[in-house]
Structure 1
Amino acid sequence: MCSYCGCADLEVVGRFMAEHEHIVNHLGALRDGLEDPVRRRAAAETLAAHLLPHVEAEEAGLFTVMARDEVFTDHISRLCGEHHELDDLLARVADGEVDLYPRFEDALREHINREDNGLFPAAAIHVGGQEWDEVERLTPRAGAVRTDR
């Protein structure tokens, strides 16, 4: 989590960063359950239940607003592609391709790093007041990741 630029003080960004931390915290259960199909499936489903609403919220709000600027369009597109790749990798691990777990974990951590230490600080600098209002309005609240579990 970025702690140097203040972007986490922005409500939506702070939420997304907290969700990232929560999602990463669920990796241990998946890693520990890789060899047990029941535990693996349950851990993957729990992780997906946190990851998917988070991804939808990012893409609906912040990504939508930032992608309008050609400076960010390609980067946002790449991050959305990574979201799809992560979803696919997680599903394949859940289905028993346990050798893909290290690739999934590395990709997830790297993706989060690109957002927390790249996109979010850039958003803090680039996105203006009315745009933040739009991000807030577009970002889903229902089904959002609960970080108290």
Structure 2
Amino acid sequence: MAEHTEIINAAGELRRACEGGRAPQVAAAVDRVEALLHPHTRDEETGLFAVMRRQEEFTDHIDSLCSEHTTLDAQLEAIRRAGAGVDPALVDTFLHDLRHHIDREDNGLFPAAAIALDGPDWAEVDEATPAPAPRAPAPPAGARGQAPDRG
């Protein structure tokens, strides 16, 4: 779910880049969203989704989430192609669809997985999903934008 927050934040950067109307910034913002979104969706599909798909009651839901991944990719590609001349409605649709998709996972599939899967299932998910890349350390106290520690 933390990855979802990063993706949403990058999507906000994408909106601002599109509003700025400069093609290089739009392309860079699409690259950033894709760099977060593609590994995330690949890991979901090869890990959690693959394991959950074995339970018939989740198959249709998993299939619809995978379809949404494809739609989001196509929308990002359309934004990239449009560049500086992107229709704001396209960006709005992408952001709406992204948030809706994340809501379906965070508040639907993930809680269901917590109930439906057991230890061996989670071990299989972990095995199929590479460990997340280490995050950059927090800036030290006194770094730009932070008040120095005076204590």
Cα distance in 2 for residues equivalent to 1:136 and 1:32: 35
Q: For residue 5 of structure 2, what is the aligned residue in structure 1?
A: 21
Deviation (angstroms), 1:136: 0.6
Deviation (angstroms), 1:21: 0.5
Q: How many residues are treated as equivalent by the alignment?
A: 131
Q: For residue 134 of structure 1, what is the aligned residue in structure 2?
A: 124
Contact 1:22 1:147 in 2 (8 A): no
Q: For residue 70 of structure 2, what is the aligned residue in structure 1?
A: 84
Q: For residue 102 of structure 2, what is the aligned residue in structure 1?
A: 112
List gaps (5 residues or longer) in structure 2.
138-151
Question: Secondary structure at the residue paired with 2:47?
Answer: helix
List gaps (5 residues or longer) in structure 1.
1-16
Contact 1:19 1:54 in 2 (8 A): yes
Cα distance in 2 for residues equivalent to 1:139 and 1:73: 20
Identity %: 46
Q: For residue 38 of structure 1, what is the aligned residue in structure 2?
A: 24
Deviation (angstroms), 1:146: 5.8
Q: Equivalent of 2:111, from 121, 134, 137?
A: 121
Superposed CA offset, 1:11-69 (max 9, x none): xxxxxx00000100112211111111110011001110110000000111000000011
- TM-score computed with the length of structure 1 as normaliser: 0.83
Cα distance in 1 for residues equivalent to 2:90 and 2:127: 37
Q: Equivalent of 1:49, from 35, 51, 57?
A: 35
Detail structure 1 runs of 4+ shifted over 2 Å in the superposition.
144-149
Query: Cα gap change, 1:148/1:20 in structure 2, threshold over 3 Å: closer, same or farther?
Result: farther
Amino acid at match of 1:68: R
Cα distance in 2 for residues equivalent to 1:121 and 1:104: 25
- Structure 1 residue 68 and structure 2 residue 58: aligned? no
Q: For the aligned residues, what is the CA RMSD?
A: 1.5
Q: For residue 14 of structure 1, what is the aligned residue in structure 2?
A: none
Question: Secondary structure at the residue paired with 1:50?
Answer: helix
